[in-house]
Amino acid sequence: MKFFVDTADIKEIKELNDLGLLDGVTTNPSLILKSGGKIAEVTKQICDIVEGPVSAEVTATEYSEMMKEAKVLAKIADNVCIKVPLTFDGLKACKAIRSEGRMVNVTLCFSANQALLAAKAGASFISPFIGRIDDIGIDGMELISEIRTIYDNYDFKTEILAASIRTVNHVKQAALIGADVVTVPPATLKALVKHPLTDKGLEQFLADWAKTGQKIG
Ligand code: G3P
């Protein structure tokens, strides 16, 4: 499973990339707002750090305007993946951008039928929003499961990018179901390494090691 980080925070991206954990980055207009920077500059900075796909989202809602924005975003770097919303205009833009050989991430997916349409439009990635489905009292993971089955039934190549990930458990469940990618906020990504028994065990080993009086090397 690929790990993307869901942020436009350059410091966090650098840190996680240095750990060798990043396969890509996703951003959206809310994350750009949070970064305080301009979309073109922030996206360029991210693309200079991370080799994998960096999703940058169009903000137009009409097809030809989306295409204009996609051209601007695509010029930033070769690894920019154009993010479009799951609307008919977005799907039309997806097909057109894909025919030019550029990666497309279709976002704001909340149903299996929407995911089916995105695959038909040739999307590189489909982004089902797990946390936001959980927020309305429905199990978001069920959607990942349904999309996995549908894509496997027809051998669609669109990668399932589990988004709106809020907990470490979401990451585990997405991996068990077979999502191709998870995009995770930095704090949740870092929390994956934590286990109290790891801390306790390490403490014990270090204490015993100190008693041996030895040194390695
Ligand atoms: O990238 C979009 C997605 O991950 C948003 O997450 O937490 O705002 O629902 P959230």
pLDDT tens-digit map of 64-96: 999 999 999 999 999 999 999 999 999 999 999
Tell me the Ramachandran region of residue 178: left when phi exceeds 0, alpha when psi lies from -120 to 50, beta otherwise. Answer: left
Q: Encoding tokens for residue 160?
A: 């399932």
What are the structural domains of the chain?
2-212 (3.20.20.70)
- Cβ-contact 57, 27 below 8 angstroms: yes
Tens of pLDDT, residues 206-216: 999 999 999 99
Buried b (16+ CB within 10 A) or exposed e, 101-118: ebbbbbbbbbebebbbbb
Distance 170 CA to ligand 1 centre (A): 13
Query: Sign of dihedral through CA atoms 113, 163, 119, 98?
Result: positive
Helices (H) and strands (E) in the chain, counts: 11, 8
| Confidence at residue 15, expressed as pLDDT on a 0 to 100 scale | 96
Distance 163 CA to ligand 1 centre (A): 6
Cα–Cα distance between 205 and 208 in angstroms, integer? 5
Atom of ligand 1 nearest to the CA of 28: 1
Query: Sign of dihedral through CA atoms 63, 93, 153, 176?
Result: negative
Catalytic residue positions, numbered: 83
**What is the mean pLDDT for each group of 10 consecutive residues in the chain (217 residues)?**
98 96 97 97 98 98 98 98 98 98 98 98 98 97 98 98 98 98 97 97 98 96
Residue of the CA atom closest to atom 4 of ligand 1:
164
Q: Encoding tokens for residue 214?
A: 């030895």
| Confidence at residue 129, expressed as pLDDT on a 0 to 100 scale | 98
Give the helix ranges, DSSP H, for 36-185.
39-49, 63-74, 88-99, 112-120, 130-135, 140-154, 168-177
Q: Encoding tokens for residue 151?
A: 């894509």
Whole-angstrom distance between the N-terminal and C-terminal Cα of the chain? 37
| Confidence at residue 155, expressed as pLDDT on a 0 to 100 scale | 98
Cα–Cα distance between 81 and 53 in angstroms, integer? 6
| Confidence at residue 91, expressed as pLDDT on a 0 to 100 scale | 98
- Cβ-contact 116, 66 below 8 angstroms: no
Quote the pTM value: 0.96
> Which residues does a 6 A CB cutoff place in the pocket of ligand 1?
6, 26, 28, 129, 131-132, 163-164, 183
Residue that the structure tokens 């050989």 belong to: 101
Residue that the structure tokens 């903000």 belong to: 59
| Confidence at residue 157, expressed as pLDDT on a 0 to 100 scale | 98
State whether residue 16 is helix, strand or coil. helix
Choosing from 3, 4, 5, 6 the residue with most ligand 1 atoms within 8 A of its CB, the one to mutate for a pocket test is 6
Cα–Cα distance between 217 and 210 in angstroms, integer? 15
Q: Encoding tokens for residue 194?
A: 């934590």
Residues contacting 99, CB < 8 A, separation 6+: 122
| Confidence at residue 154, expressed as pLDDT on a 0 to 100 scale | 98
